[in-house]
Amino acid sequence: MVECNFCGGEAVFLRPYSGEKLCKRCFMKSIENRVQQSISKQNMFKPDDKISLALSGGKDSVSLLHILSKIEGRFPKTKLVAVTIDEGILGYREEAIRIAEENCGRLGVEHNIFSFKELFGSNLDEIIKAAEKLESELSFCSYCGVLRRRALNIAARKVEATKLAMAHNLDDEVQSMLMNLLRGDISRASRKEPAIIESEPAFIQRVKPLCEVLEREVAFYAFLKRIKFQTILCPYLESSIRQDVRLFLNQMEGKHNGMKFAVYRTFKKLQQRLDSFDNKDQFRFCEVCGEPTTGRVCRVCQLLEELRLNNKE
Ligand code: SF4
Ligand SMILES: [Zn+2]
Ligand SMILES: [Zn+2]
């Protein structure tokens, strides 16, 4: 039997980048501690925050729901609510919503559902049909991502949350950092997280408590905790730069332990330095829908207008 470095119990997980061997209990504790440390280090929450968790039903968001609900128990003035965005993907999103509901019910967390249809007048299936007709060069995920970000902000406002918790793990973060670099998007690459816009109540501050936990460790946490999450893939998932970057990073991590953490830390340091001269996007309000944006007309309105679906606003 291989022994756990911390309690001498039976080890079930080896951390290649640190050499630690952990038993089931110590592994789960280590993930919860890592999340707690990220929250404290980055001052993500105040004791009286109302936290809206973006709950998709996938392993990351459902694991974060369980971890935050545990942490919430220690802070009587903090309130956790979950928000699921129903993009309207027939045969896919229904299961995710059911799983999200079940987990919230088990933990006694209030669950709210908002749909693209009610917020934008069209669901994703309709948007994708219109995009195909237009022979748009944008990927399906680009439409979905832009609209979901907006939907989550509106939803957080509607449930009167003061913070919006996203379940992006370390892999997601490093992928985004490299993608911004590959696209030459210096503005995004240098944007510090969490984006704090204290003076703009229409824009709910986003925090990412899983930002220092590897994807495979979130998956193992969910497995050990017997957490139910959605495993089928979205039918619109297609090959993208993100998939290529993901594959590349996984190959590099397989050969060089700790590489993802190294990239993450390097970018964080760069962001600190670049922040002083290139992180000054001024927020204003979209002339069409009135939502906070950096341009005259927001990206959501631009996309819906291109697709001739902008009948809601
Ligand atoms: S895979 Fe793409 S289209 Fe599907 S839910 Fe995710 S972002 Fe949306
Ligand atoms: Zn142990
Ligand atoms: Zn707009």
181/185 Cα distance (integer angstroms): 6
Contact assessment for residue 32 and residue 212, using Cβ atoms and an 8 Å cutoff: no
Identify the nearest ligand to the CA of 13 by its number: 2
Residue nearest to atom 2 of ligand 1 (CA): 141
82/101 Cα distance (integer angstroms): 9
Cα–Cα distance list, 313 to 83, 203, 236, 269, 286 (Å): 23, 19, 26, 41, 11
215/169 Cα distance (integer angstroms): 6
Output the CA 107–ligand 1 centroid distance in Å.
27
CB of 140 sitting under 6 A from ligand 1: yes
Output the CA 16–ligand 1 centroid distance in Å.
31
Write out the DSSP string of 272-301. Answer: HHHHHHH--PPPEE-TTT--EESSSS-HHH
* Residue 281: predicted pLDDT: 62
Contact assessment for residue 136 and residue 304, using Cβ atoms and an 8 Å cutoff: no
CB of 141 sitting under 6 A from ligand 1: yes
> How many CA atoms lie less than 13 Å away from 34 in the CB half-sphere?
18
CB of 234 sitting under 6 A from ligand 1: yes
Identify the nearest ligand to the CA of 127 by its number: 1
CB of 237 sitting under 6 A from ligand 1: yes
Identify the nearest ligand to the CA of 303 by its number: 3
Residue nearest to atom 7 of ligand 1 (CA): 141
Return the SS3 of 303.
helix
pTM for this model (two decimals): 0.93
Of 115, 123, 144, which is best to mutate to test ligand 1, by the most ligand atoms within 8 angstroms of its C-beta? 144
Output the CA 117–ligand 2 centroid distance in Å.
48
**Structure tokens, 210:** 């899983």
Identify the nearest ligand to the CA of 235 by its number: 1
Of 236, 240, 241, 303, which is best to mutate to test ligand 1, by the most ligand atoms within 8 angstroms of its C-beta? 236
29/42 Cα distance (integer angstroms): 20
Residue nearest to atom 1 of ligand 1 (CA): 237
* Residue 313: predicted pLDDT: 43
Mean pLDDT for 95-111 is 97
* Residue 272: predicted pLDDT: 81
Residue 276 has pLDDT above 80, yes or no: no
* Residue 185: predicted pLDDT: 79
Burial 119-147 (b: 16+ CB within 10 A, else e): bbebbbbbbbebbeeeebeebbbebbebb
Mean pLDDT for 279-287 is 77
Contact assessment for residue 164 and residue 207, using Cβ atoms and an 8 Å cutoff: yes
Mean pLDDT for 44-53 is 96
Contact assessment for residue 20 and residue 2, using Cβ atoms and an 8 Å cutoff: no
pLDDT interval class at 270 (50, 70, 90)? confident
Q: What is the per-residue pLDDT across 143-200, written as a single tens digit (0 to 9) for each?
A: 999 999 999 999 999 999 999 999 999 999 999 999 988 988 777 776 655 444 555 7
Q: What is the per-residue pLDDT across 234-256, written as a single tens digit (0 to 9) for each?
A: 999 877 888 899 999 999 999 99
* Amino acid (1-letter code) at residue 234: C
Output the CA 3–ligand 2 centroid distance in Å.
8
Identify the nearest ligand to the CA of 295 by its number: 3
**Structure tokens, 5:** 């470095």
CB of 145 sitting under 6 A from ligand 1: yes
Q: What is the per-residue pLDDT across 202-218, written as a single tens digit (0 to 9) for each?
A: 899 999 999 999 999 99
Of 87, 92, 143, 166, which is best to mutate to test ligand 1, by the most ligand atoms within 8 angstroms of its C-beta? 87
Output the CA 139–ligand 1 centroid distance in Å.
10
More reliable by pLDDT, 109 or 275:
109
64/83 Cα distance (integer angstroms): 13
Burial 50-66 (b: 16+ CB within 10 A, else e): bbbbbbbbbbbbbbbbb
* Residue 40: predicted pLDDT: 95
Query: Per-domain residue ranges for the chain?
Result: 29-306
Beta strand 284-285 with 292-293 is: antiparallel
Q: Looking at domain 29-306, which CATH architecture does it have?
A: 3-Layer(aba) Sandwich (3.40)
Q: What is the per-residue pLDDT across 56-95, written as a single tens digit (0 to 9) for each?
A: 999 999 999 999 999 999 998 999 999 999 999 999 999 9
